[in-house]
Amino acid sequence: MQAVSNKLAERLSDAPTTVSAEYKPRADGSTMKALAWFGARDVRLVDAPIPYITEPDDIILKVTGTTICGSDLHLYHGEIIQLQQGDILGHEFMGIVDRVGPNIQNIKIGDRVVASFQIACGECSYCKQKLSSMCDRTNTSGLQNVMYGHRDAGFFGYSHFTGGFPGGQAEYVRVPKGNVNLLPIPDSVSDEKALFLSDILPTSYHAVVDTGVKQGDVVGIWGLGPIGQCAARFALMKGATRVIGIDSVPSRLLFATERSGIETIDFSEHTDVVKRLQELVPGGLDVAIDCGTFHQPKMLLHKVEKALMLETDVSEIVNEMIRSTKKMGSCGLIAAYAGYTNHFNIGALMEKGIRLIGNGQAPVHKYWHELLAMIGAGKLDPTFVVTHRVSIDEFPELYESFDKRVGGVEKVFVETKFSSPPSAGAPRLSRVADWGSELYIV
């Protein structure tokens, strides 16, 4: 799939952008540790050149905190096209400013900042509305332009389908358009609270806001990984009276009931999720949000069709959501999808008047000031979802264990040689090999 898409992309040629993805190395040839993709389930820690200022709007960060995301698992499984061997992954990171380009006015060397997972230009019509993930000018992928009719913003560490920018699962990272894509963090906010402004907090908040959760709603959330757990919290914050989370990982179901007090459905026990939801909520959900993953089909039919490349994505969750939601209710897709799916229940969507919303890649810039203010005021503590802390040296093992959801893992803080010690109450450094024995094979 990668080879074919890369060949096709070559023939379509690059779409014009205002930034280049390639970085210049430092003149002295010094290197850093970085996590790179080499194939399905094959990621390796490599020595890569340390980036240097390449364009006048660049900022180079020393990474003080990074992490792994459910979206990285799509790359790990080889489900996202236009990956190339040696691509440095990672789209969620924070750091200390090490170098600034000559055009940078608002940020200086030594500042502590978090990056948005998307690279926005700050000037196009989408960026002016803070819809940073929809930026028109930073993603070179001609293939995405053809497949989607338009292209999203460029993303860090997320294949050449999203611009081919080297990511932040590394000791250093180049941030193009550093003047707009970094948020300064006050000293009073710890690294473990700040890091997740790069993605999971704005993403889960956007899912809840954009799908329209309001006071008194009954909300269903498919998938209780970090995005689902945070979306459940935000739904409660917006006044939902009931939140029902659906998953099959025992530790994740327990986490949701114990830490957030929501109801859950274990889909390995209740194989007919729609029937179970109809028992629990006879009139139907007001809002359903997909926080799951498209690379984990349940039905043999989808497994076979995916294997034969007759579809790339799976419609199981979206069909369950449409059937479980009340007439004229809303369903949101914040979970990432990449291409085409079969057996989509278009009839139920139309006949029930379901508002099906593709939430898109979350526009981080639209929300990160508001969320930082919530954290500062003590109204939001993202550390509830952080279960482990590991060293960058363990990234390959972390990919494997996060994929298999070993040891009750939710979100992980990954430290580098530039990190501060863990803050009070945050997880201490652990070795992936020592995580608990609970194993859930996908």
Ligand X SMILES: NC(=O)c1ccc[n+]([C@@H]2O[C@H](COP(=O)([O-])OP(=O)(O)OC[C@H]3O[C@@H](n4cnc5c(N)ncnc54)[C@H](O)[C@@H]3O)[C@@H](O)[C@H]2O)c1
Residue 10 vs 370, nearer CB to ligand X: 370
Residue 12 vs 301, nearer CB to ligand X: 301
227 binds, options ligand X, Zn ion, none, Cβ within 5 to 8 A by partner type: ligand X
Could you say which of 75, 185, 219, 334 contacts ligand X (CB under 6 A)? 334
Torsion (CA) 162, 207, 179, 95 in degrees, nearest 10:
-90
Could you say which of 222, 255, 413, 435 contacts ligand X (CB under 6 A)? 222
390 binds, options Zn ion, ligand X, none, Cβ within 5 to 8 A by partner type: none
**Nearest approach, Cβ of 27 to Zn ion (angstroms)?**
31
Could you say which of 2, 54, 203, 330 contacts ligand X (CB under 6 A)? 203
Residue 124 vs 249, nearer CB to Zn ion: 124
**Nearest approach, Cβ of 176 to ligand X (angstroms)?**
19
The site string for ligand X over 52-91 (x = CB under 6 A, - otherwise) reads -----------------xxx-xx-----------------
Q: Which residue is closest to Zn ion by CB?
A: 69
Residue 87 vs 98, nearer CB to Zn ion: 87
5 binds ligand X (CB under 6 A): no
SS (H, E, C) the chain: CHHHHHHHHHHHCCCCCCCCCCCEECCCCCEEEEEEEEECCEEEEEEEECEECCCCCCEEEEEEEECCCHHHHHHHCCCCCCCCCCEECCCCEEEEEEEECCCCCCCCCCCEEEECCEECCCCCHHHHCCCHHHCCCCCCCHHHHHHHCCCCCEEECCCHHHCCECCCCECEEEECCCCCCEEECCCCCCHHHHHHHHCHHHHHHHHHHHHCCCCCCEEEEECCCHHHHHHHHHHHHCCCCEEEEEECCHHHHHHHHHHHCCEEEECCCCCCHHHHHHHHCCCCEEEEEECCCCCCCCCHHHHHHHHCCCCCCCCHHHHHHHHHEEEEEEEEECCCCCCCCCCCCHHHHHHCCCEEEECCCCCHHHHHHHHHHHHHCCCCCHHHHEEEEEEHHHHHHHHHHHHHCHHHCCEEEEECCCCCCCCCCCCCECCHHHCCCCCCCC
**Nearest approach, Cβ of 394 to ligand X (angstroms)?**
18
b/e per residue 296-311 (b: at least 16 CB within 10 A)? bbbeeebeebbeeeeb
228 binds ligand X (CB under 6 A): yes
**Nearest approach, Cβ of 309 to Zn ion (angstroms)?**
26
267 binds, options Zn ion, ligand X, none, Cβ within 5 to 8 A by partner type: ligand X
Residue 260 vs 361, nearer CB to ligand X: 361
**Nearest approach, Cβ of 342 to ligand X (angstroms)?**
16
Scanning 76-84, 277-285, 323-331, 358-366 for contacts with ligand X by CB under 6 A, the matching segment is 358-366
User: Using CB under 6 A, which residues numbered 258 to 317 contact ligand X?
Assistant: 267, 291-293, 296, 298, 316-317
Q: Which residue is closest to ligand X by CB?
A: 70
Could you say which of 324, 361, 383, 416 contacts ligand X (CB under 6 A)? 361
127 binds, options Zn ion, ligand X, none, Cβ within 5 to 8 A by partner type: Zn ion
Query: Which residues contribute to the site for ligand X (CB under 6 A)?
Result: 69-71, 73-74, 199, 203, 222-228, 246-249, 252, 267, 291-293, 296, 298, 316-317, 334-336, 359, 361-362
